[in-house]
């Protein structure tokens, strides 16, 4: 990709083709027949987004009312009219301590999003100040052969996002380095295939939770005596093991179904095994390998949340769990913020893989 | 039948009907191919004998499914032999090898490589001791010969079917095989492109004189390209039904061939064979 990233390129990368049409509208390039296109690509999605927020808003409002009425009714029965009136006034005043706890509305979620960002700014300022304060001391400590003092404060929401991305990429790389070579060997040799087939069939459907427990059992023993936090290791290995199956199966299939014509060419030219694999078999199975990797990355991102939650490894999964346990007034809204962030990042990762896949595959048609 | 008796008089033939062995490039001797099926063996080819002389261009015609392609892929070494043997210059073949170049029906180029890389794939294999520049020169020379001097660095997937098959021709000639095997190489092309590629093929062939065996469905193509047209009987148990010598002088042009008095005699002979 060259430096000239135009709006059109960016929007088609994001799968948001309507931006291009929108640009045409403002630059006056829009023809009459493009109107249908505009309607389909821009107005209809926009309308559906607005409708979604409207329904969400109305739904949240009615849930809020149900919860509030129940609370007031309960106060009336348990403590009498005066308590019920006080509670009604309290709810109407917007006082946070007595708010009904239910599905947050879009505006509450937006507020929480902004408060999370503010929180991040405070924490990162704090962190910068800490680094500045300890710089001289740390230099001395390092010179004396001691470990530097590191910031151990609470991670911000943005820190959690990056931590999750780290875990998912570590898991993805693990899956890549296990599944691709293994898939190639299985695809090349029918003997290995029959040796491994039961293994794949049985372990493929195992749930992420069970993988986590298995990895926990093993890593706990391997790292016995170590004081380091092993939650990151455990969670990325679990993510890798859960998500590698799609790549393994796709690679094996790609390698074993190389076009017979190519194999015949390799035979006629008497290519050696090494050359046959690297010049013929691998390039021709790249599209399928990448289809597998794309599925692997999206599965990794999906199971990550559950595994972080179990492993108590910092990240979005733990964030969601802690907010749920926390039960503060804006906890529900923060959970919804995390949900959107998870969804959007998942979507971007998928697009990234699709772009790489289109880039490496030799038939330049749309990939699956 | 009169054509055959006329022509064979002038050729160097031994009393048993075979050619002298130092003249023969490719020898199929009592060749047999059997495919086992649940209902018993299916014999595709049986008692198939064919000798092809050095620097000869032979085309093979026969009905679809008669076993032409089976025979060719057996010569290429891609299909195991059930009985009899095949020898190149008196040596029995064992499996495939670059002494027998193949031009497949579909171009079979690696779509992720450029046309130059596709040709080099074979050249590197056959001339491992040549320098990189020499190998490049060989590959480029043959690509130029097939009219692709502007497409060295185009990906094979970006080329049209006809252009791809040109690369296939260049790849086959560039490895300088002893025998060139062509499995209906132009069958998938439109008739205009087919004519162009026939001209290119015969032009290179006139220079290189590599013994060639080509399968075709096209009677005119068979006559235009060949020194001999071999007709195969319909399967099962297919064998050589008849052989027709084509006595046009080389280099030939399409026009001179079409205008030649014998052309329609040859054509009638082949069509009579195919229709019976």
What CATH number does residue B238 fall under?
3.40.50.300
Residue B208 tokens, joined:
């290189």
Q: How far apart are CA A115 and CA B247, in angstroms?
A: 93
Q: Do A270 and B96 touch (CB under 8 A)?
A: yes
Percent of chain B with pLDDT over 90: 33
Q: What are the CA-CA distances from residue A343 to residues A114, A340, A347 (Å)?
A: 18, 5, 6
pLDDT level of residue A6 (50, 70, 90 thresholds): low
Q: How far apart are CA A246 and CA B51, in angstroms?
A: 53
- According to the model, what pLDDT value does residue A367 have? 38
- According to the model, what pLDDT value does residue A18 have? 55
- According to the model, what pLDDT value does residue A4 have? 46
pLDDT of A228 higher than 80: no
pLDDT one-digit tens code per residue, A313-332: 888 888 988 888 887 778 88
Phi and psi (nearest 5°) for B28?
Answer: -100, 120
pLDDT average, residue stretch B262-276: 89
Q: How far apart are CA B276 and CA B273, in angstroms?
A: 6
B residues 62-91 near A, CB within 8 Å?
76-78
- According to the model, what pLDDT value does residue A2 have? 41
* Average pLDDT for chain A: 84
How buried is residue B127: exposed, middle or buried, by Cβ count under 10 Å (0-12/13-18/19+)?
A: middle
Q: A270 in the Ramachandran plot: left (φ > 0), alpha (ψ -120 to 50) or beta?
A: left
Residue B99 tokens, joined:
């002494």
pLDDT average, residue stretch B34-55: 89
pLDDT of B52 higher than 50: yes
Please give the radius of gyration of chain B, using alpha carbons only, rounded to the nearest integer. 19
pLDDT average, residue stretch B77-83: 90
Question: A353-367, B37-51, B136-150: which range is least confident on average?
Answer: A353-367
Question: A4-18, A127-141, B40-54: which range is least confident on average?
Answer: A4-18
Question: A223-232, B50-59, B189-198: which range is least confident on average?
Answer: A223-232
Q: Do residues A7 and A19 make contact, with C-beta atoms less than 8 angstroms apart? A: yes
pLDDT of A247 higher than 90: yes
- For residue A239, give the nearest of A185, A184, A163 by alpha carbon: A163
pLDDT average, residue stretch A41-48: 89
pLDDT average, residue stretch A251-262: 90
Q: Domain count for chain B, please give it.
A: 1
A322 to chain B, closest Cα gap in Å: 50
pLDDT average, residue stretch A37-62: 90
pLDDT average, residue stretch B77-91: 90
- According to the model, what pLDDT value does residue A368 have? 37
Torsion angle defined by CA atoms of residues B40, B42, B43 and B44, in that order, rounded to the nearest 10 degrees:
-170
Q: Do residues B11 and B3 make contact, with C-beta atoms less than 8 angstroms apart? A: no
pLDDT one-digit tens code per residue, B199-255: 999 989 988 889 999 999 889 999 999 999 999 988 788 888 888 898 888 888 888
Percent of chain A with pLDDT over 90: 29
- Residues of A at the B interface, defined by Cβ within 8 angstroms: 259, 261-262, 264-265, 267-271, 275, 279-280, 283-284, 286, 362-364
pLDDT one-digit tens code per residue, B152-186: 998 888 889 889 999 999 999 999 999 999 999 99
Q: Is residue B129 part of a domain?
A: no
Q: Do residues A251 and A285 make contact, with C-beta atoms less than 8 angstroms apart? A: yes
- According to the model, what pLDDT value does residue A164 have? 92
pLDDT average, residue stretch A229-234: 84
pLDDT of B188 higher than 60: yes
pLDDT level of residue B4 (50, 70, 90 thresholds): very low
The residues near A252 (Cβ < 8 Å, ≥ 6 apart) are A183, A184, A186, A187, A193
pLDDT average, residue stretch B247-267: 87
For an interface test with A, give the residue of B69, B121, B178 to mutate (most A CBs within 10 A). B121
Question: A104-118, A267-281, B5-19, B25-39: which range is least confident on average?
Answer: B5-19
CATH number of A154-366: 1.10.3720.10
- According to the model, what pLDDT value does residue B230 have? 92
DSSP string, A295-331: HHHHHHHHHHHHHHHHHT-SSHHHHHHHHHHH--TTH
Neighboring chain B residues of A280 at a CB cutoff of 8 Å: 110
- According to the model, what pLDDT value does residue B12 have? 65
pLDDT of A165 higher than 50: yes
Q: Is residue B147 part of a domain?
A: no
- For residue B16, give the nearest of B29, B1, B25 by alpha carbon: B29
pLDDT level of residue A222 (50, 70, 90 thresholds): confident
Q: Do B125 and A262 touch (CB under 8 A)?
A: no
Phi and psi (nearest 5°) for A361?
Answer: -80, 145
Alpha helices in chain B (DSSP H): 2-10, 68-76, 115-126, 132-145, 161-174, 191-208, 219-225, 254-259, 263-274
Question: For A264, which of B108, B125, B155 is closest by C-beta distance?
Answer: B108
Q: What are the CA-CA distances from residue A39 to residues A11, A49, A78, B78 (Å)?
A: 17, 14, 56, 57
Q: What DSSP element (H or E) covers B112?
A: none
pLDDT one-digit tens code per residue, A103-146: 888 988 999 999 999 989 998 888 888 888 888 888 888 888 77
Q: Which strand ranges, in their side-by-side order, compose the sheet holding B91-92?
A: B40-53, B24-37, B83-88, B91-92
pLDDT of A96 higher than 80: no
Domain coordinates in residue numbering, chain A: 2-98, 154-366
* Average pLDDT for chain B: 87
B residues 171-200 near A, CB within 8 Å?
175
DSSP string, A51-112: HHHHHHHHHHHHHHHHHHHHHHHHHHHHH-HHHHHHHHHHHHHT-GGG---SSPPHHHHHHH
Neighboring chain B residues of A270 at a CB cutoff of 8 Å: 96-98, 125
Question: For B108, which of A262, A363, A364 is closest by C-beta distance?
Answer: A262
Q: B108 in the Ramachandran plot: left (φ > 0), alpha (ψ -120 to 50) or beta?
A: left
> What's the complex ipTM?
0.82
Q: pTM of the entire structure?
A: 0.77
- For residue B33, give the nearest of B5, B10, B78, B67 by alpha carbon: B67
pLDDT level of residue B15 (50, 70, 90 thresholds): low
pLDDT average, residue stretch B181-194: 89
The residues near A77 (Cβ < 8 Å, ≥ 6 apart) are none
- According to the model, what pLDDT value does residue A23 have? 62
- According to the model, what pLDDT value does residue A14 have? 56
Neighboring chain A residues of B155 at a CB cutoff of 8 Å: 362
pLDDT average, residue stretch A257-267: 89
Q: How far apart are CA B165 and CA B159, in angstroms?
A: 9
Number of A to B CB contacts under 8 A, please give it.
58
Q: How far apart are CA B234 and CA B253, in angstroms?
A: 32
β-pairing, B40-53 vs B100-103, is unpaired
pLDDT of A16 higher than 70: no
- Respond yes or no on whether the N-terminal peptide bond of residue B251 is cis (omega within 30° of 0): yes
pLDDT of A248 higher than 90: yes
pLDDT average, residue stretch A86-91: 83
- According to the model, what pLDDT value does residue B116 have? 93
Range of the domain at B45: 2-99+177-275
- According to the model, what pLDDT value does residue B106 have? 87
Q: Is residue B156 part of a domain?
A: no
Q: Do A279 and B112 touch (CB under 8 A)?
A: no
């Amino acid at each position: 990709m060259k430096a000239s990233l135009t709006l059109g390129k960016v929007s088609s990368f994001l799968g948001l083709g309507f931006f291009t049409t929108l640009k045409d509208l403002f630059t006056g390039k829009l023809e009459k027949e493009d109107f249908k296109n505009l309607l389909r690509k821009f107005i209809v999605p926009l309308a559906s987004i607005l409708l979604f927020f409207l329904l969400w808003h109305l739904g949240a409002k009615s849930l809020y009312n149900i919860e509030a009425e129940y609370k007031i009714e309960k106060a009336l029965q348990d403590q009498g009219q005066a308590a019920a009136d006080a509670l009604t006034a309290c709810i109407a005043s917007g006082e946070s301590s007595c708010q009904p706890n239910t599905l947050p509305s879009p505006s509450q979620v937006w507020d929480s999003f902004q408060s999370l960002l503010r929180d991040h700014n405070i924490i990162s300022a704090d962190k910068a100040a800490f680094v500045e304060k300890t710089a001289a001391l740390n230099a001395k400590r390092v010179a004396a052969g001691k470990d530097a003092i590191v910031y151990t404060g609470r991670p911000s929401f943005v820190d959690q996002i990056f931590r999750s991305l780290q875990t998912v990429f570590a898991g993805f790389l693990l899956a890549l380095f296990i599944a691709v070579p293994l898939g190639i060997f299985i695809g090349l040799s029918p003997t290995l295939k029959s040796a491994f087939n039961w293994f794949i069939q049985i372990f493929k459907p195992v749930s992420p939770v069970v993988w986590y427990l298995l990895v926990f059992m093993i890593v706990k023993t391997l790292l016995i005596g170590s004081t380091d936090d092993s939650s990151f290791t455990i969670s990325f290995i679990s993510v890798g093991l859960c998500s590698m199956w799609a790549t393994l199966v796709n690679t094996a299939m790609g390698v074993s179904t190389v076009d017979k014509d190519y194999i015949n060419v390799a035979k006629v030219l008497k290519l050696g095994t090494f050359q046959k694999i690297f010049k013929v078999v691998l390039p021709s199975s790249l599209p399928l390998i990448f289809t597998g990797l794309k599925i692997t990355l999206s599965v990794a991102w999906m199971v990550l949340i559950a595994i972080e939650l179990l492993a108590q490894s910092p990240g979005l999964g733990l964030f969601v769990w802690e907010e749920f346990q926390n039960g503060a007034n804006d906890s529900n809204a923060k959970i919804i913020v995390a949900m959107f962030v998870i969804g959007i990042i998942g979507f971007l990762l998928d697009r990234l893989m699709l772009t790489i896949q289109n880039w490496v595959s030799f038939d330049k048609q749309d990939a699956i | 039948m009169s054509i055959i008796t006329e022509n064979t008089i002038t050729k160097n033939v031994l009393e048993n009907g075979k050619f002298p062995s130092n003249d023969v490039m490719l020898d199929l001797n009592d060749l047999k191919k059997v495919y086992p099926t649940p209902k018993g063996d299916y014999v595709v080819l049986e008692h198939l004998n064919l000798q092809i002389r050095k620097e000869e261009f032979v085309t093979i015609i026969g009905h679809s499914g008669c076993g032409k392609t089976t025979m060719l892929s057996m010569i290429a070494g891609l299909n195991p032999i059930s009985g009899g043997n095949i020898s190149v210059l008196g040596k029995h073949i064992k499996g495939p090898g670059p002494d027998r170049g193949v031009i497949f029906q579909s171009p079979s180029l690696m779509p992720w490589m450029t046309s130059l890389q596709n040709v080099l794939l074979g050249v590197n294999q056959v001339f491992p001791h040549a320098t990189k520049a020499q190998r490049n020169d060989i590959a480029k020379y043959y690509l130029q010969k097939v009219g692709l001097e502007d497409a060295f660095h185009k990906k094979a997937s970006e080329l049209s079917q006809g252009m791809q098959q040109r690369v296939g021709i260049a790849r086959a000639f560039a490895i300088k095989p002893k025998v060139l095997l062509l499995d209906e190489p132009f069958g998938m092309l439109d008739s205009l492109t087919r004519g162009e590629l026939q001209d290119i093929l015969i032009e290179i062939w006139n220079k290189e004189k590599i013994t060639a065996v080509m399968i075709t469905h096209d009677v005119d193509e068979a006559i235009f390209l060949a020194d001999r047209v071999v007709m195969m009987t319909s399967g099962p148990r297919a064998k050589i039904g008849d052989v027709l010598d084509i006595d046009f002088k080389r280099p030939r042009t399409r026009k001179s061939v079409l205008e030649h008095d014998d052309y329609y005699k040859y054509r009638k002979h082949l069509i009579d064979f195919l229709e019976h």
